[in-house]
Amino acid sequence: MQRRPRAEATGRQGREFVNALERGLAVLAAFGRGRERMTLSDVAQMTGLSRGTARRLLLTLSELNYVASDGKLFWLAPKVLNLGQGYLASFGRGEVATAIIKGVSEKLGESCSMAVLDGPDIVYVARVETQRVFSSRIDVGTRLPAHCSSLGRVLLAGLGEAELEAWMARHPLTAWTERTLVDPGKFRARIAEVRRQRYAIIDGELEIGSRSVAVPVLDRSGGTCAALNIGTSSARASLELMRRRFLPVLREASQQIGNATQGW
């Protein structure tokens, strides 16, 4: 199990910064796919907290009904959904965007998603998945690396040059497959290309055999506030088909979402 940076020594300054709140949020964030249920030792290791601190935080979160336990294992309780739902509702995405995304998925017969940028990752905020034998296990809240996903490339292209350079300085370009673009110079050139053409296509950089095309969702000022994509496989769609068939549908849906949620 990979250990995260210690949550007890962040180096943050300021009398109004509440370290206990930071540690409590770190405990909640420690739970995830493959870590749905953890022991006290697991939580302490994941967060870098001492066992005593982790225990007090877990018991407090349990008392507040954000965490449940059987006395040995701990897991997130349904109440944590209130936090995420508040974020989604603030953007008007829950109803409007999902309805539009569902229409795209039904029209093209492929899964359609919307995501935002959060640090090194994209975070899915809406998704409609087609029914297939094998599920991708991508749901709202799933995180994937931004640098090798079509959604991430579009979101990174929405940053200014200084912002992109700062992002690249913080987040290494890690290879997920032999096709992942990890050369910084080539990556910058690819992002510039995405800016010019207003879409991104990924072919096997995140997972061999998977392909996706994404477009930006614009806010009222013309900035990129989210990205919309179609995910498919190399067996079902050629790159030419994605540009000719998928891209126009995505662009129309993106404009509809932008027009319907100008309050973002």
8-12, 47-51, 239-243: which range is least confident on average? 8-12
| pLDDT at residue 151 in the model | 97
Residue 200 has phi, psi (to 5 degrees) of -135, 140
Tokens of 20: 């206990």
CATH 2.40.110.10 describes domain 19-80: no
DSSP per-residue string spanning 197-228: HT-EEEESSSSTTEEEEEEEEE-TTS-EEEEE
pLDDT in tens, 95-150: 778 889 999 999 999 999 999 998 999 988 888 888 654 556 787 878 899 999 99
Residues of the chain with CATH 3.30.450.40: 91-260
pLDDT in tens, 207-227: 999 999 999 999 888 899 899
- Tell me what percent of the residues of the chain surpass a pLDDT of 90: 62
| pLDDT at residue 76 in the model | 87
Domain at 91-260: CATH code: 3.30.450.40
pLDDT in tens, 157-193: 999 999 999 999 999 999 999 999 999 999 999 999 9
Summary count for the chain: helices (H), strands (E): 10, 9
| pLDDT at residue 170 in the model | 94
Q: Measured between alpha carbons, how far is 233 from 239 in angstroms, rounded to an integer?
A: 10
Q: Which of 256, 259, 262, 261 is nearest to 104 (CA)?
A: 256
Can you give the pTM of this predicted structure? Answer: 0.74
Cα 161 to the center of its chain, rounded Å:
22
Checking if the pLDDT of 248 tops 90, the result is yes
Tokens of 79: 């109440």
Residues of the chain with CATH 1.10.10.10: 19-80
Checking if the pLDDT of 41 tops 50, the result is yes
| pLDDT at residue 1 in the model | 42
Residue 55 has phi, psi (to 5 degrees) of -65, -45
The helix or strand, by DSSP H or E, that contains position 38, with its residue range, turns out to be: strand 37-38
Q: Measured between alpha carbons, how far is 198 from 192 in angstroms, rounded to an integer?
A: 10
Who contacts 192 (Cβ-Cβ below 8 Å, separation ≥6)? Answer: 157
Average pLDDT, integer, range 33-62: 91
| pLDDT at residue 3 in the model | 42
